[in-house]
């Protein structure tokens, strides 16, 4: 586990959190845990109940839907938040492609951070809107 200041440095360098104040970063750091995972580890499985959200600090992960790769995620990308927002099943599987460092927020901590850090809520909404637009473009041209 990284030291507290290194943890804050990681948070501040992640695009999702880049506009957050030091005070907001401290709230996020307090609510999250930093973990390291090896390559080829299944992080979330499509159809499972979501119990946490993840933010990639370092490394890459592949996203698969119905066993077909649909995306690659890297530092600053978040995943797992959709299940926490709507309490539905995971919409895709995510597997580490390289060794990774991740920030993990449980459902309770995730909700608390969204309540306490409005800037994060806005960035998350923007990221979700971008995903909707991308999917719309793929489906309808």
Q: Which residue reads 């943890």 in tokens?
A: 7
In the Cβ-directed half-sphere of 44, how many Cα atoms lie within 13 Å? 30
In percent, the amount of the chain with pLDDT more than 70 equals 94
Given a contact cutoff of 8 angstroms between Cβ atoms, the answer to whether 127 and 18 are in contact is no
Question: In this structure, what CATH number is given to the domain that contains residue 59?
Answer: 2.60.120.10
Rg (CA), the chain: 15
pLDDT at 1 over 50: no
pLDDT in tens, 53-102: 998 989 999 999 999 999 999 988 889 988 888 889 999 999 999 999 99
Average pLDDT across the chain, whole number = 87
Residue 52 to residue 98: CA distance in whole angstroms: 21
Domain count, the chain: 1
- For residues 42 and 102, what is the distance between their CA atoms, to the nearest angstrom? 13
Parent domain of 14? 4-140
Predicted confidence at residue 117, as pLDDT, reads 84
Report the percent of the chain where pLDDT is more than 90.
Answer: 35
d(CA 74, CA 98): 10
pTM for the full model?
Answer: 0.80
**pLDDT of 2 higher than 60:** no
Query: Residue 3's pLDDT is what?
Result: 61
């Amino acid at each position: 586990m990284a030291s507290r200041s290194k943890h804050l440095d990681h948070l501040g360098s992640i695009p999702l959190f880049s506009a957050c104040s030091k005070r907001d970063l401290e709230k996020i750091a307090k609510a999250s845990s930093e973990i390291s995972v090896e390559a080829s580890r299944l992080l979330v499985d499509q159809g499972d109940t979501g119990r946490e959200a993840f933010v990639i600090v370092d490394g890459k992960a592949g996203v698969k839907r119905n066993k077909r790769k649909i995306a690659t995620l890297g530092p600053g990308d978040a995943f797992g938040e959709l299940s926490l927002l709507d309490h539905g099943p995971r919409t895709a599987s995510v597997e580490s492609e390289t060794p990774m460092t991740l920030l993990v927020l449980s459902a309770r901590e995730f909700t608390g951070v969204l309540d306490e850090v409005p800037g994060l809520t806005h960035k998350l909404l923007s990221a979700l809107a971008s995903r909707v637009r991308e999917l719309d473009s793929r489906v309808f041209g």
